Amino acid sequence: MAIKVFIKRKCPKDKERELFRFIKEIRRQVPQQPGYISGEYLKSIDETNEIATISSWFSLEDWQTWFESEERKEIQSRIDSIPGVPPNIQFTGISRPAKGVQVRASPQLECWSAGIL
């Protein structure tokens, strides 16, 4: 089952440059991962300082392999060291999720602008 992974972060304005530097590192590595289809990076057009990553994967297992990889964990640890930048990860699938996997839908409609990071 193909899935989409939504990672949303709030980032203080003065920490955006640092966060974007790490996101660029991820953008260089993730296209080489098995099962990766595509990805987008979006910045909220309102004043909430939210940044979203939306990636498509052939399967939940492919994304989990990337999620558990040492390359991603190393970059994620640097992102986690930025004060005030916690991730909020959500998944959606195009068919029923695997047994034991919880899928959450967001009821709110939000406006985002595509930006080049």
* CA dihedral (69, 116, 7, 106) positive or negative: negative
Kindly tell me the burial class for residue 97, based on how many C-beta atoms sit within 10 Å of its own C-beta (0-12, 13-18, 19 or more).
middle
Of 102 and 23, which is predicted with more confidence?
23
For the segment 17-75, what is each residue's pLDDT rounded down to a tens digit? 898 899 899 989 999 999 999 999 888 887 678 888 889 999 889 989 998 999 999 99
Domains of the chain plus CATH, in order, are 3-106 (3.30.70.100)
The model's pTM is: 0.71
Predicted confidence (pLDDT) at residue 77 exceeds the cutoff of 60: yes
Of 92 and 2, which is predicted with more confidence?
2
Q: How confident is the model at residue 91 (pLDDT cuts 50, 70, 90)?
A: low
Torsion angle of C-alpha atoms 3, 47, 109, 58, degrees rounded to 10: -10
Predicted confidence (pLDDT) at residue 103 exceeds the cutoff of 80: no
